[in-house]
Amino acid sequence: MELKGLRDRVADLVDDLRDQAATAAGLRAGYAAEPTAATFETWLDEVLDQAAVAWVLGCVFVRFCGDNGWIPARLPVEAGTDRDRLLALFGHLARLPATARLFDEHNPVWRFTISERAAARLVAHFHRERERLGPGTRFLGDLYQGLSAHARRTYGLVQTPDFVENFILDRTLEPARREFGLPGVRVVDPACGAGHFLVGAFDRLLRGWRAAEPGTAVRVLVERALRQVTGMDLDPFAVAIAHFRLSVAAMSACGVTTLDGGAAFEPRLLVGDALLAGDDQLPAGAFTVVVGNPPYQTVKDRDRDREYRRRYPACSRKYALTVPFTQLFFRLARPAAPDGTGAGVVGQITANSFMRREFGRKLVTAFLATEVELTEVIDTSGAYLPGYGTPTVILIGRNRPVDQRWSGPIRTVLGVRGEPGQPPDPARGHVWSAIAGQIDRPGSSSAWVSVVDADRDRLARHPWSLSGGGADLLTAELEAHPLRLRDRTARIGVFGMTNADDVLLADRRTWLRRVGTLAMNRRVVVGDELRDWSCEDGVWAFFPYDESLHLRELTDPAYQRWLWPVRTVLGNRATFRGRTYFAEGRPWYGWHQVTADPDAHPWWIAYAFMATHNHFVLDRGGRVFKQSAPVLKLPATATEDDHLGLLGLLNSSIACFWLKQVSHNKGSTVDRRGARQTTVAWENFYEFTATKLQQLPLPPRLPVRAARYLDDLGRRAAATTPQAVAATGVPDAQRLAAARAEWTTLRYSMIGVQEELDWAFYRAFGLIDEDLVAGGGPAPRLRLGERAFEIALARRGETQWFERHGSVPVTTLPRDWPPAYRALVERRLAAIAGHPALSLVERPEYKRRWAGKDWPAMQDEALRDWLLDRLESAPVWTPAAAAQPRPADGGAPGALPAPLSIAQLAARVAPDAEFRVVLALWSGADAADLTRSVAALLAGESVPFLAAHRFTRSGLRKYAQWERTWALQRRVDAGETVEIPVPPRYRAADFRRVSYWRHRGALDVPRERFIAYPGGVLGLAAWNHAARAQALASLYRERERRRDRPVATLLPLLAGLAELEPWLAQWHRATEVTALIDAELARLGADRSVLTAIRGLT
């Protein structure tokens, strides 16, 4: 049964139910009872989505039961509509023990009735699904996960693949059977979801009982096995699915063929929060087997968070639910006797974030290291697991303290390489097959994993590193150096965060276009801009702070106009205390956090917090930094050499190696099946936290020469990019060609010097001898593919690195190299082949990729921006008024605003020889057809003047909520006291075009250059509300004078004016537009309701 088709049915039902809900009683009361700051409409969308999912899943259960004969092919259902028949079928299932939980009074199908037309479409969909559903019930839980965003978001629902479930049961339930005997086994899954582990455990136990007591009645054995499994989950519908699945398994075993055939079975399933359950529900120490796949998300509810921290001491910082559930799993297991025997067995697959993130320190060092006995730790982060976008680890252990009398080494499966693609059968993927095949062979090693019996002391320390292939030995060698990065820095951490990037960050042009000044702006660095010793061009932030980082008053009207529409969103940002800015009396327009370092050196070393490799850049002042670009601050007495020495180490391959051993691996991408992909190790992203970074070992001496050169080369390269060329004059072919030649030369020099820096730090850490480091002469310029590790890759026939980076494999040393350098590289290649540490670190995952934008991409972007800037400039739009100052209200200078067609714009720039030269360079041909070239340039650069033209139906529903928020804000500004709900954020699906989403984002903040008006004409986005109203009025009068224009073409222009009305009254005290609208509506025989309908707000 295709998931996409069912999702389409859910979307169809949500729209249908929204119409039904408009008249439903009690919804407003239900909304009022919820502790939410969201608007009623946002809350309702969530409720209706759950109801739609319930209807679709209800049909799936009916179809499953019908296809498998669990209900009669024809039930005595009275004739009626499709909806009547569906409800009758649901009612029939609600009366049967196996399905009663699925269709009980809490099921939304009884509260939200779909229309007859929607029911007919739903029934027709299932009639088109001709393939019969088989007897297996596992897919029911998978479908629930795929359909219910609420279950995934609220309960962290992720279905455990069957091969993982069987693996964990093999290593928990089977040892428990051998130790306690079949009668002594008690299994619990305290986060059971749809019951995958429970059904698997029941099947195994029943098979065991049948083998042990072949003469006992099957039903007796079935009930006995059912009593041995217990499950609990916070999601009531998931528990209902688990109940159904266990019931079906039990009835099948007993030979029952219909749901009403015989006495009911009662699986031991509970709805509730297992973390807060008492002994009357989940008694501590009562189970011999505890298995599961607990949720991974963080806790949002403050009361629950407080109680979790009280009950589970390992909860620390902003912990994930992995932490308390790990403690709970062991608590539920039977404790050991004084001699260590009788301890219950625990097995879980869980997120591995606790291994390296700081919140996991207490769990590792204070709980797993001493209080309980880990027996197996299995790195599954490289395995292909459908549905798992989070890297995972399997933990197996027993509920007994670590004691030398019984606690041996920990069987540990270390990851070597991730799955290279999507395997046809995930159970037979390379990595998983290696795990399953090698787990019982300590000392074995393959291309995918290595298995060791690790000393407990190794896993008693945080962070954990589960990298195989000798990574642990090299890590230990580096950490033998006593000096740490924290010993040389004043602070490592975040400079600032806005928690409102959608409105407080924009490109420089947008600020000048919409605000007209940069007086309260600073260039802000984000992590993605820090690459290869340079900081790329990027965004500017609203930064209302003085030089001492004291918040300034928001008095500038231009900035007030920019921020006012999102005031409610900004004021409802959560503070560190869990309240809102409004509640705490914080200025609503400030950054969430800004950190001052008055006693540190003024320079910064900023770095990319999340990246595939280490990227650190020295900033000598003038910028600010987001949390994605944390900073290192050195003491006030630090010198330039102090900064450069650390900068070189931080950008070295040996630092990259160490950081990846202790940092959290975020993976690369997630495929269409929700599986985390680690196709190649060098494309995995890592989080480089300040806590980990400050523990970086330092060698006794920090080489400076190469770092100084690279810092200089990086700044020079940044000054020769196409963007830099365009910023200093006309970017013609001659200037760009000269810049490209210089940029390429600088790039090759940087690759060569970086290579020398890497080898210099191998020497500094004592990994190699002096004769593998180049002498004092200049390093040769290297192309990608010419570094020693790349030559080694090419000689082994590996191609992926070269294909991904557009480089040519080199197997023989270039002849233009100096003889001394050729000999040096040959020695390096020999050392890589023969030295375990070098063979480990001289790999693509630790070597700089130099994978930034290539020259053609940068040139295209620079030329396009230059051309658009010229098209947007005042001389093009108001030639006679180009020299006039910008009005104080933020409008564009000059005469009355007049929209222009593309042909008119082309005619305006036709005399501009510079424009034509650059346009020909950008388009790749002589721009003979100027109008066509300008049209291509302007494609995707405008957003329609009317909300109904830029939003989809879902977007318009959200826009209506935003308009109500603005109306309430105006009432507050007028002195009233009213509660203002937080309006919803937009998604890409809320916009009619991807380009609109790209310009506007989640808060609909305008960043576009142009406004699109009917008839293919454009206006300037820099126009204020008054100017836009003048432009619309001008268009209206022009078209109204043309008597052949139908009324339908005039009304959207009036609707646009109506949309501007409140803004004109607010910012310009203008009321003339209201009179114009009313007069024209009367003349056209229409009224305001027509404009409301055109605006899509009915």
Any idea what the CATH number is for the domain that residue 615 is in? 3.90.220
Give the DSSP per-residue string, 556-572: -HHHHHHHGGGHHHHHT
Question: Minimum mean pLDDT among 74-88, 143-157, 288-302, 866-880: which range?
Answer: 74-88
Question: Using CA atoms, how far apart are residues 598 and 973, in angstroms rounded to an integer?
Answer: 38
The per-residue pLDDT for 771 is 83
Contact status, residue 326 vs residue 348, Cβ threshold 8 Å = yes
In 68-171, which ranges are continuous DSSP H helix? Answer: 82-94, 116-128, 138-147, 149-155, 162-170
Q: What is the mean pLDDT of residues 5-17?
A: 92
Of 230, 259, 293, which closes a domain?
Answer: 293
Please say if the pLDDT value at position 29 is more than 80. no
Of 821, 793, 664, give the one whose Cα is nearest residue 322.
664
Residue 141 inside a domain? The answer is: no
Of 1019, 1030, 955, 964, give the one whose Cα is nearest residue 993.
955
Residues with Cβ < 8 Å from 438, sequence gap 6 or more? 413, 444, 446, 449, 450, 451
Average model confidence (pLDDT) across the chain: 92
Residue 570 inside a domain? The answer is: no
Residue 103 belongs to what domain range? Answer: 3-135
The per-residue pLDDT for 886 is 47
Of 1033, 1022, 1015, give the one whose Cα is nearest residue 1070.
1033
Residues 491 and 464 in one domain: no
Question: Using CA atoms, how far apart are residues 954 and 11, in angstroms rounded to an integer?
Answer: 11
Q: Count of alpha carbons within 13 Å of 336, Cβ hemisphere only?
A: 21
Residues 408 and 373 in one domain: yes
Residues 926 and 1014 in one domain: yes
Residues 249 and 176 in one domain: yes
The per-residue pLDDT for 954 is 93
The per-residue pLDDT for 2 is 83
Residues 654 and 724 in one domain: no
CATH number at residue 188: 3.40.50
Q: What is the mean pLDDT of residues 468-495?
A: 94
Question: Using CA atoms, how far apart are residues 298 and 811, in angstroms rounded to an integer?
Answer: 49
Q: How many CB atoms lie within 10 A of CB 879?
A: 11
Between 927 and 283, the higher pLDDT residue? 283
Q: Tell me the C-alpha to C-alpha distance, in Å, between residue 485 and each of 105, 360, 482, 625, 687.
A: 61, 22, 10, 21, 17
In 537-633, which ranges are continuous DSSP H helix? Answer: 557-563, 567-571, 581-584
Sign of torsion over alpha carbons 499, 504, 506, 508: negative
Sign of torsion over alpha carbons 982, 983, 986, 990: positive
H or E segment and range at residue 896: none
The per-residue pLDDT for 892 is 47
SS3 content of the chain, % helix, strand, coil (to 5): 50, 10, 40
Strands 534-535 and 530-531: antiparallel
Residue 746 inside a domain? The answer is: yes
The per-residue pLDDT for 700 is 95
Question: Using CA atoms, how far apart are residues 571 and 566, in angstroms rounded to an integer?
Answer: 9
Question: Minimum mean pLDDT among 34-48, 154-168, 176-190: which range?
Answer: 34-48
Between the two ends of the chain, the Cα-to-Cα distance in Å is 37
Residues 862 and 983 in one domain: yes
Of 283, 333, 382, 324, give the one whose Cα is nearest residue 172.
333
Residues 173 and 268 in one domain: yes
Number of domains in the chain: 6
Residue 288 inside a domain? The answer is: yes
Degrees to nearest 5, angle at CA 860 with 858 and 861: 65
When pLDDT is cut at 50, 70 and 90, the band that residue 882 belongs to is very low
When pLDDT is cut at 50, 70 and 90, the band that residue 463 belongs to is very high
Question: Using CA atoms, how far apart are residues 1019 and 708, in angstroms rounded to an integer?
Answer: 49
Residues with Cβ < 8 Å from 875, sequence gap 6 or more? 882
Q: Which long-range contacts (CB under 8 A, 24 or more apart) does 556-563 make?
A: 556/517, 556/519, 556/520, 557/888, 557/889, 557/890, 558/515, 558/516, 558/517, 558/890, 559/515, 559/520, 561/515, 561/890, 561/1024, 561/1067, 562/503, 562/514, 562/515, 563/503, 563/589
Residues 163 and 14 in one domain: no
Residues with Cβ < 8 Å from 572, sequence gap 6 or more? 37, 580, 581, 582, 982
When pLDDT is cut at 50, 70 and 90, the band that residue 1048 belongs to is confident
Of 469, 503, 525, which closes a domain?
Answer: 469
Of 274, 293, 312, which closes a domain?
Answer: 293
Question: Minimum mean pLDDT among 720-729, 1054-1063, 1089-1098: which range?
Answer: 1089-1098
Residues 208 and 288 in one domain: yes
Residue 1026 inside a domain? The answer is: yes
Residues 276 and 342 in one domain: no
Give the DSSP per-residue string, 688-708: --HHHHTT-B--SS---HHHH
Please say if the pLDDT value at position 889 is more than 70. no
Residues 289 and 306 in one domain: no
Residue 339 inside a domain? The answer is: yes
The per-residue pLDDT for 277 is 95
Per-residue tokens: 121: 């479409």
The per-residue pLDDT for 156 is 81
Please say if the pLDDT value at position 545 is more than 70. yes
Confidence (pTM): 0.87
Question: Using CA atoms, how far apart are residues 33 and 43, in angstroms rounded to an integer?
Answer: 12
Is 612 in a helix, a strand, or coil? Answer: coil
Residue 633 inside a domain? The answer is: yes
Residues 671 and 761 in one domain: no
Residue 888 inside a domain? The answer is: yes
